[in-house]
Structure 1
Amino acid sequence: MPESWSLRPATQADGVFLGDMVVEAANWRPGAPRPRHEVLADPDHSRYLAGWMRPGDVGFVAVAGAELIGAAWYRTLPRTDPGFGYVGTGVPELIIGVKAMWRSHGVGRALLRRLCDAAHAEGRARICLSVERENFAQVLYRTEGFAVTRSGISRDTMVKRLG
């Protein structure tokens, strides 16, 4: 595995890779992963990709050499089609995925920070996400200033105030 990696802005051409990262995020648990086609056909997941890159979509991709290794992006979803972590009109919801072999190498933290910085620079006051309660990524989110604002049966909605 290369030691160095970098971040770059996501482009419209990254849509397929963002789909890969939705699948990574959905399959965070070790064991039998859900097949790609099943995850991406699920409206709960496809709403984060449909029509990428539409106005208001912002994202970053982590790259090691020629390999894409992770991505984080946000969308502002309407109240009529909310995501897992929807908290209100105009609050973008972030999605993050990192290839398994690159987890615990600082990639997710760097993506998260860059995305929050971009949201703040865009004038956003808050950013939100949803995470399954047992997902180890919840520790990352807490250390980066996200707080649980709503608890569901197996997942929490977290919000970070920007600025």
Structure 2
Amino acid sequence: MPVSFTVRPAVASDGAFLADMAVEAANWRAGDPRPRHEIIAAPVYSRFIGGWMRPGDAGHVAVDAQETPIGAAWYRMFPRTDPGFAYVGTGVPELIIGVRPIWRAHGVGRALLQRLADQARADGFARLSLSVERGNFATTLYRSEGFAVTQAGSGRDTMVKLLR
């Protein structure tokens, strides 16, 4: 497979694809995938999808040479009264990322994270956060892109990247 892709800003019509990528993010383990309807109904994922694209949302979509979406990374702000798993403070967007399995380990996730960090910096944010389940192979990518564990939870960690 040729490793040729580009990254573009996410738009309002990408909502259904972002739901697909939330499913990919949830089903990172090989073997026993959870059903799509179960994942997109779970609050940990539905909060990143519902009402896309609302004010303050930002993201990027990777597309292959035929312009078919293959991955996405996006962030949202959540209030202290309704925090996500990666909530670290007011004014820190929480991100989620998903890449189609066949495109993993081809630089797609790294390109998406870099573009999203650039976007967050341009939007005036000082930090980005994410939540990752322990054992997820993507943790190595997150660390290499400057994310560090700031909170260890039950089976998952919160990681933060300083942008300034």
Is TM more than 0.5 here? yes
Asked if 1:81 is matched to 2:82, the reply is yes
CA distance in 2, matches of 1:153, 1:129: 15
Partner of residue 131, structure 2: 130
CA distance in 2, matches of 1:2, 1:59: 25
Partner of residue 156, structure 1: 157
**Larger displacement relative to structure 2 (64-73 or 105-114):** 64-73
Partner of residue 47, structure 1: 47
Asked if 1:9 is matched to 2:9, the reply is yes
CA distance in 1, matches of 2:68, 2:2: 10
Unpaired segments ≥5 residues, structure 1: none
The alignment partner of 1:48 has SS state of helix
Give the RMSD, CA atoms, in angstroms.
Answer: 0.8
Partner of residue 68, structure 1: 69
Amino acid at match of 2:152: S
CA distance in 2, matches of 1:38, 1:66: 28
Number of aligned pairs? 163
Unpaired segments ≥5 residues, structure 2: none
Partner of residue 36, structure 1: 36
Q: Compute the TM-score of the two structures, normalised by the length of structure 1.
A: 0.98
- State the identity as a percent: 68
Amino acid at match of 1:101: I
Runs of 4+ in structure 1 deviating by more than 2 angstroms, as ranges, are none
The alignment partner of 1:47 has SS state of helix
CA distance in 2, matches of 1:122, 1:47: 21
